[in-house]
A and B are shown apart, each in its own frame.
Chain A
Amino acid sequence: MIIELGHFALILAFAVAAVSTIVGFAFWRNGERITLYVRQAAVLQFLLVAAAFGALINAFVTADFSLSLAYQHDHSLMPLIYKVTSVWGSHEGSMVLWISILVAFGAAVAVFGRRLPQDLLTLVLATQSLLVAAFAGFTIFTSNPFLRLNPAPLDGQDLNPVLQDIGLAVHPPLLYTGYVGFSICFSFAIAALISGRIDAAWARWVRPWTLLAWCFLTLGIAMGSYWAYYTLGWGGWWFWDPVENASFMPWLAGTALLHSALVMEKRNALKIWTIFLSIITFSLSLLGTFLVRSGVLTSIHTFASDPRRGIVILVLLALFIGGAFTLFALRASALRVGGLFAPISREGALILNNLFLATGLAAVLVGTLYPLILEAVAGKTISVGAPFFNLTFGALMVPLLLLLPFGPLLAWKRADVVAVTQRLAAAIALALVCAVIVFTLAGWSISLAPLGVLLGFWVAFGAIAELVDRAKIGRIAPAESWRRLVGLPRSAWSTAIAHFGVGVSVMGIVATSAWAGELITTMAPGQTAMLSGYTIHFDGVDDQPGPNYDATRGLFTVTEQGGGTRQIEAEKRVYTVSQQPTTQASINTYGFSQLYLQLGEKGQGNAFVVRIWFKPFVTLIWLGAIIMAFAGFLSLTDRRLRVGAPRRAAAEAPQPVPEAAE
């Protein structure tokens, strides 16, 4: 009964969204009552989809195997948390999660967007409703999660063991919140294009939503990366897999959007480009959904793939992206040009940032889609893997990172690059000293790694340099500096912290790729191995039965160079239902570095294959991402986002020169 109610709620949400779309687009000029209507409809959609989602969770938790989806992905012996998370461990369920987040953002705009102009708000919510209607319709008609089985099977088929992990509780919700959150930027862009209300105030309204989605996407990608790192059993953390790229591309576009919206908000420039990026960012989310859900790619993310669904998503994709860009082409030329600036200025730096991010995005996009297109067009199959992306994307990121510390120090409109370089002198010197230390420790060799470390230090110190500079540390009394530092706007802090996070991630990436230690060997209990200064003693194995699996557990004692010891254990599991084996690597953190140990196959006698890696500073990769996301959340608390956007005075300041800034 609850399942049918959930099913009904989803259909009703679809209907409400469809009506709200029609009413919103048809009568958006008609003022208060229409706005109130679409706002209420947005909240109603949220409640209905939440009810549908709740019905699914209830069926999974109570192990109701008359629900086909629960039968396929649930099992009575599974721990409670995995019963909940397995709701979105399937295609159908993950679509419901997708729609849940879509309606949650819609409802949030309806509730918190009261200060927005009515026509704009109506159009935003109408566009959001259109998205809800499309994807709820897709789910109901091609991937219905509420199908029943009669008679109900006795027990379920269990969730894919790889997905029976806390990662499934964390990674998809965060990632989807980011991914789907960009729908708000898309809806704002469409609303702006239809209403013609494209100005600095628009940028200010859309920026917090962009920032919110971006923070979640950053965390989602980082958590996905960490999940892959500890699950796949050999410590790889990024594979340039098409599915990873599908989430990385909206991130790149979203990052570019955050920066260009800044120019639009502060200087009323880059308007066409910002609107374009808003559309592109969510289009890439849709493209990612298509790539992952269609079965064009096969991977752990695809679950069950069905080509019919792929075609439907492709049609939706074409309609949304095609429609948005048609509107863009029709209306963008009508945009009035905003503030002017010299090439060397904050605006100029942000444009360069966008150039490199957009080109990096293009490199990833082409690399991801090219093999698919080539196969379809020419019948040739090629692989585009990590070496290609490291080369092309990596090459584009180097100049971006080199220039990054300059950006926040440059003045708006026009800046003096020599003066800025002088203010960065300390950061340059510090980064060089640190790099020299690393060079010395690593041995002077012609290698990119120490240069990469230099780049990481440069970005990190450069980020701090802005705060130091603005607080005049060392130039005025410390107490006064402290007062200035505390008094800095949160947006300044968040810029510095986010950029610092970038530097931290870069250092982690470089260090762990360049100086990882590895040891692949056969060990019998009682034997000892050495790696990177750690002594690993194999104590023995025992059997460790789990709730729905049997595990062989390897026990080890690790002795650090300083003499500290730790007991660690690594498992090999075989899941009872699927008979699928998985490995649970043992990961031990020392400082920022990790010792990664995997118990392999049983060899002759009682010997086991043991694979051990030392991953220097590997945690910095994710720590940097968390710092970036934290900075984003911090920026969301900035006062300027809580107060209303300033209204333009009736008599506008005269525009000095009527030339293009785009």
Chain B
Amino acid sequence: MKSLAALAIAVLLALTPTASFAVNPDELLADPVLEARAEAIGTSLRCLVCQNESIEASDADLAHDLRVLVRERLKAGDTDDQAKQYIVDRYGEFVLLQPVFAPHTLILWLAAPALIVIGALVLFITGRRRKPLATAGSNVLSAEEIEALEKLSAPPER
């Protein structure tokens, strides 16, 4: 019960759904709404000099510069997309942790959905081919099965 209460308090006091990490206190924006937006953008941008870390998570200098840049753009009145685009224009597509949906990423985005559809189709088709059993009803034995059962339960021929 104590941990549930802790959860409730955590929920009430949580600043934002996304956490930020190597951020220094002086970088934070005074406006919590704007800061939350900046953090959301920051977690989707890659720290270019790090290995697979977002700029919010990294303590590299470049990440610091980018965090400040994002916050400046937001203060200047950019929308989230505009602020992101501003960074992409300067640092390239590599900076986006979630790749864009474009011709060169079609395979990336469509591979899993295509596979699940193909897999489901294959299962459906092989399922249909097993029709005798599939349509036999939930607990009713087919004629062949009854025959097989009788053979099995018949006394052994010695």
A: residues with CB less than 8 A from B are: 233-236, 239-242, 297-300, 340-343, 351-352, 355-356, 358-360, 362-363, 366-367, 370, 374, 378, 380-388, 391-392, 396, 414-416, 437-438, 441-443, 447, 449, 511, 513-522, 531-533, 561-562, 590-593, 600-601, 609, 611, 613-614, 616-617, 653-654, 656-657, 659-662
**In the assembled complex, which residues on chain B have CB atoms less than 8 Å from the CB atom of A653?**
148, 152
**Which chain B residues in 7-23 approach chain A with CB under 8 Å?**
7-11, 13-17, 19-23
Residue of A374, A616, A661 most packed against chain B (CB within 10 A): A616
State how many angstroms separate the Cβ of B84 from the closest Cβ of chain A. 12
Q: Is A239 in contact with B11, judged by CB distance below 8 angstroms?
A: no
Other-chain contact of A341, B97, B112, B133 (Cβ < 8 Å): B133
- Which residue of chain B lies nearest to A380 when distances are taken between CB atoms in the complex? B104
Q: Is B107 in contact with A370, judged by CB distance below 8 angstroms?
A: yes
Task: List 14 interface pairs A-B (beta carbons < 8 Å), by A numbering.
Answer: A340-B133, A359-B112, A370-B105, A370-B107, A385-B44, A386-B54, A438-B7, A442-B8, A522-B26, A532-B13, A533-B6, A654-B151, A656-B144, A660-B129
Q: How many Å lie between the Cα of A414 and that of B139 in the bound state?
A: 8
- Which residue of chain B lies nearest to A356 when distances are taken between CB atoms in the complex? B116
**Which chain B residues in 86-142 approach chain A with CB under 8 Å?**
92-99, 104-105, 107-109, 111-112, 115-116, 119-120, 123, 126-127, 129-130, 132-134, 136, 138-139, 142
Q: How many Å lie between the Cα of A591 and that of B46 in the bound state?
A: 34
State how many angstroms separate the Cβ of B64 from the closest Cβ of chain A. 12
The answer to whether the Cβ of B158 comes within 8 Å of any Cβ in the partner chain is no
Instruction: Count residues of B near A (Cβ-Cβ below 8 Å).
Output: 68
The answer to whether the Cβ of B29 comes within 8 Å of any Cβ in the partner chain is no
The answer to whether the Cβ of B80 comes within 8 Å of any Cβ in the partner chain is no
Number of A-B contacts (CB under 8 A): 213
Q: How many Å lie between the Cα of A464 and that of B42 in the bound state?
A: 41
**In the assembled complex, which residues on chain A have CB atoms less than 8 Å from the CB atom of B22?**
233-234, 611
Q: Is B152 in contact with A656, judged by CB distance below 8 angstroms?
A: no
Sorted nearest first, the 9 A-B pairs with minimum C-beta distance are A385-B97, A234-B21, A591-B3, A387-B98, A363-B112, A533-B9, A366-B111, A441-B8, A656-B144
State how many angstroms separate the Cβ of A219 from the closest Cβ of chain B. 24
Q: Please name 15 further chain A to chain B contacts, defined as beta carbons within 8 Å, in addition to the given A235-B21, A437-B4, A441-B11, sorted by A numbering.
A: A241-B51, A355-B120, A366-B108, A382-B93, A382-B94, A392-B112, A517-B10, A518-B14, A520-B28, A533-B6, A561-B6, A613-B19, A614-B10, A656-B144, A660-B126
Q: Is A381 in contact with B93, judged by CB distance below 8 angstroms?
A: yes
Q: Is A298 in contact with B3, judged by CB distance below 8 angstroms?
A: no
**Which chain B residues in 27-44 approach chain A with CB under 8 Å?**
28, 43-44
State how many angstroms separate the Cβ of A3 from the closest Cβ of chain B. 34
State how many angstroms separate the Cβ of B102 from the closest Cβ of chain A. 9
